[in-house]
Amino acid sequence: MSVIILDFKGQYSQLIARRVRDLGVFSKILPGDSPIDEIKNEKPEAIILTGGPDSVYEKDAIHPDEKLFEIGVPILGICYGAQLMGYMLGGNVQKADPSEAEYGKAIANYEESLLFDGLKSGAVWMSHTDFIDKLPEGFKPIAKTKNCNTAAIADESRKLYATQFHPEVNNTEHQQEIFKNFLFKIAKITPNWSSEDFIEKSIKEIREKIGDGNAILGLSGGVDSSVAAALVSKAIGDRLTCIFVDHGLLRMNEAEEVEKVFKEKFNVKFKKIDAKDRFLEKLKGVTEPERKRKIIGEEFIRVFEDAKKDAKDAKFLVQGTIYPDVVESGLKKGDVIKSHHNVGGLPEDVDFELVEPLRMLFKDEVRKVGRLLGLPDHMVDRHPFPGPGLAIRVIGEITEERLDILRRVDKIYIDMLHEYNLYGKIWQAFAVLPDIKTVGVQGDKRTYSYLAAIRAVRTTDAMTADAYPFDPEFLDEAQRRIINGVPEVNRVVYDITSKPPGTIEWE
């Protein structure tokens, strides 16, 4: 283990983990109040404290174990993490005067220190109403902005550093240099994280876990499950059976396309199960997103349990769970953003031992692994598709009619992205069918038909995202083709919401 990131419910916690990994150092996120023994067991070479929404002096604010600063490894506190360091080590934190609170861009001037080695000044991203107004003993300021004399502080003898600003976001200049200085000059970590090493280590761990047993894998045809299939197949060969469940919530022609690709391209056992009726019956009348996810998660398991007998009574279930799934479904005591059907949506009585070889990878890391394993580009670069499928893109009650409408809208939209050579420039694009009808005019007649939404985002890790800036001409052509091609729709909107505050999917 290299770097532990203690999460205090900060919106950029996963981004910090990515910045560390981008420099070839493995990072792992733990809840901010994790027991000290749990942290020590990870044998961290450095620790980073994230931002968070609380004020450190509030009664219910999350605090780390008070022995954290006695472990003896370098620690970097960021925003709330900086205030924690100041507060817990004997300094004082107080609320800033409204005129002195900082949100957004500020210019920081750096003092001589290892954290800012080679830097004099730069734009930084601020987001705070509290500030450290009295430093703990042994600390000194190492950066200042116009409104904050403690924009960064350090006790260099104990290798404790803290920034009031967010070095992990793109709005901060020299972000890579700051993290390099902390990891390599202060913590003296040797980069040891690569996709090649991950593959080698994972194959060994999979073989040790499964032994001479058999496994089944829930294959969706998406990037995550496909890479998991390739990785586990490399480890145990034909003792893996890939099961593709057609739950009736797929995109147009998807079941046929997935079956064709895997039967032609991969040397794995492939079985397709038609489970449309049982899934749609379970989802009948359900409108609440979390219930949808949990119903689908449980039904997947039940289908796999029924199928295990045909796979030599397999005791292991392989899933393409990735790190954002784990984080968004709740890191132990963390808040659940949304349950993923393969994490928070699983029933408690699972009659399998789970194998999740990609559980600690972000999406772009999964793609790198996929390429190294020989997966074709068109599969590795495919936009993510959620395990619950169209169930979380049909907002409200799921019916055959509404699924059919959404499939046709989505196909027109995605086909246009390929036609305009935009598909590869976008991380994820899809259509949504809200439970909304609107008045329109078509053929000089009044209509009362569905509204359809289209979404496209740019991101590197799916933890933060921005809407893709389509040309107005593209959006105009998209709405025209959708409305003309899908008579049940008379209005199209484009979702420009970033993440945060929204999520990429609607449910």
Q: Which residues are catalytic?
A: 79, 166, 168
Token readout for 428 is 């994820």
Instruction: Specify whether the CB–CB gap between 453 and 492 falls below 8 A.
Output: yes
Helix (H) or strand (E) holding 428: strand 428-432
* Nearest one of 314, 320, 338 to 328, comparing CA atoms: 338
User: Which regions of 312-404 does DSSP assign to beta strands (E)?
Assistant: 316-318, 353-355
349 known ligand binder = no
Question: Quick one: DSSP state of residue 62?
Answer: -
d(CA 387, CA 356): 15
202 known ligand binder = no
Instruction: Specify whether the CB–CB gap between 343 and 305 falls below 8 A.
Output: no
- The values of phi and psi at residue 400, to 5°, are -60, -40
d(CA 282, CA 162): 51
Give yes or no for a cis peptide into 74 (omega within 30° of 0). Answer: no
Q: How many angstroms separate the Cα of 471 from the Cα of each of 177, 420, 455?
A: 35, 11, 14
Give yes or no for a cis peptide into 500 (omega within 30° of 0). Answer: yes
Instruction: Specify whether the CB–CB gap between 150 and 94 falls below 8 A.
Output: no
3-state secondary structure 395-420: CCCCCHHHHHHHHHHHHHHHHHHHHC
Cα 442 from chain centre: 41
Instruction: Specify whether the CB–CB gap between 85 and 124 falls below 8 A.
Output: no
* Helix 195-210 / helix 363-372 crossing angle, nearest 10 deg: 80
Cα 302 from chain centre: 26
225 known ligand binder = yes
226 known ligand binder = yes
Q: Is residue 348 packed enough to be buried (19+ CB in 10 Å), middle (13-18) or exposed (0-12)?
A: exposed
3-state secondary structure 376-389: CHHHHCCCCCCCCH
Instruction: Specify whether the CB–CB gap between 337 and 328 falls below 8 A.
Output: yes
222 known ligand binder = yes
β-strand pairing of 92-95 with 27-31:
unpaired
Please enumerate, by residue number, every residue annotated as part of a binding site for ATP. 220-226
Please enumerate, by residue number, every residue annotated as part of a binding site. 220-226
